[in-house]
Structures are given as C-alpha cells and as structure tokens.
Amino acid sequence: MSTIDTTSLRRKLDEPYQLTSEQIEFFQKNGYIKLKQVLSPDLIDYYGEEITRKVIELNTQTKPMSQRSTYEKAFLQIMNLWTKSQIVKEFVFSRRLAKIAAELMGVRGVRLYHDQALYKEPSGGITPWHADQYYWPLARPTTCTVWIPLQYTPLEMGPLAFAVGSQNFEFGRDLEISDESEEKLQAALKEANFPLDELPFDLGEVSYHYGWTYHRAGPNTSTDPRKVMTIIYYEDGNTMIAPRNKAHEADWKSWLPGAKIGEPPATHLNPLLYP
C-alpha cells in the first residue's frame, strides 16, 4: 500500500497557476471564468476525502427530500470547515487558489470570507438563480467565489451555470435564493439576453465568479452526490456596510464578528490568504 506524500500535496496548494491576460480580461468582462487543471486528481482525492468526512460528521439535515424546502433540496451546506479540520484548513488557505482570485479581480490581496461545502444529494433539486453578494455586507464588488467540484461533474449532476456578463445587472439584487429568485431572475435574465454557460466540469476544473454574477445549478438526477467545495474571497481593504437585510445581520455575526461599519473587516475568521 503506497503512502500519501502530503508534503508534495501541500506544495501543490501553494504553487502559482499561470493566468493569461486573456483569461483575466474574460473574467472581468463576463463575471466568471472556468479554469482547467487547477487542481490535480491526487490533491482532490486527498482533501476531498477529508471534506466529505467532515460534511457527513457535521450535517444536521435529516428530513426526507419530499419534506424539504427548495433551498433545503438544493444541497447540504456546511460552512467554515477550515475551523473544524487542520487538513481542510490547508486546502482553504491555498495560496494557489487565493492568488488566482486576486489576479482575476485585479487586486493586491484577498481575505477569506468563509468556506462552504455544497453537496447536492442524488435527487437533489435545483439551486435557484441568485447572486451571492446579496448575503455579504461588503461595500465594493471586489468579491468572488471559487467553485471546486470534487469529481467530474456532468450535466445530470447539476454543475454551476452562469448568466454571462450579468455582474453589472442590478435587477434582483434584493432577492435571496428562493423560488421567487428563480422565477423572477430567469425571466429577467432571458429578457436581457444574457447567454447561459452550463457546461460540465472536468475533474480538476474550477470556476471563479464575482459576488454579483448571477448563477444557478440544475438538479442532481444521477445516483451519486455532487460534491463541491467553495471558498469566498474579498479584496483586502474592502469595507463593511451597514446591514440592509437580515442576511447581512446574520453574516456580520457569523463570519465578520466584531467588524465595524465603514472599516475593512479583518477578524480572526478573515485571514489574509494572499499575498
């Protein structure tokens, strides 16, 4: 039985990924980008096993699928796994992933907002149209999420889909993820003629999207769970705004504890990940 070279894996998490100027331009124009071969299969296997173990351990969702709300059917959601496992912390603190985020957004440094595992179970429903930054009490749009599938993710598993170029579309920014956001945004985005990118994800392929880029995911009609890990970044120096909704209040308490309105949040839960 071969042993795992964890030193080599940790080194891979910090090795730089060479972005091209065309990729950076694509991201800033379209609000998202999918990048192939960012993470190696052995790295995904090792860290994915620990992420899955913690999701199973920490999950509190026990209702049958038929009794869940649309949001509850979309995925099992476990947040800030980095505080529960040193192995997951190594993954979330990846300099490689954080550097990509900073370079795509064109900023000098990024901090961690929080991580979250999003596991869409077999027979799991849609993830409705939404924009993540609805939930974040941050002033500037220099925020992004890296979406990391822990397996090849074909259409039947419900890969993330993007409304191309929608990061500056202001309709629906007051909508939380819900049946209402799905109905209203689907109609508005179609009327505005935003192209849809809903292609599968190869193993090792990840996506980055701005906080205000609209996205959704289809149901998981396969027999296997769609296992995904995400990390949310914000520009170092981005400032906190006064809460405008209940989600802002909740996120302030949970992910930005002690942060002050009008100042850059830099709490113990928001370490500088790059540089």
Per-residue confidence at 113, pLDDT binned at 50, 70, 90?
very high
Q: Where are the domains of the chain?
A: 26-265
The answer regarding whether domain 26-265 maps to CATH 2.60.120.620 reads yes
For residues 275 and 261, what is the distance between their CA atoms, to the nearest angstrom?
Answer: 25
What is the band of 29 on the pLDDT scale with cuts at 50, 70, 90? very high
Neighbours of 274 (CB within 10 A): 21
pLDDT in tens, 31-52: 999 999 999 999 999 999 999 9
pTM of the model: 0.96
pLDDT at 1: 38
Q: Taking Cα atoms as reference points, which of 116, 119, 117 lies closest to residue 157?
A: 119
Percent of the chain with pLDDT over 90: 95
Confidence at residue 83, expressed as pLDDT on a 0 to 100 scale: 98
Contacts of 149 (CB under 8 A, 6+ apart): 159, 201, 203, 205, 206, 226, 227, 228
Going by pLDDT thresholds of 50, 70 and 90, the confidence category of residue 71 is: confident
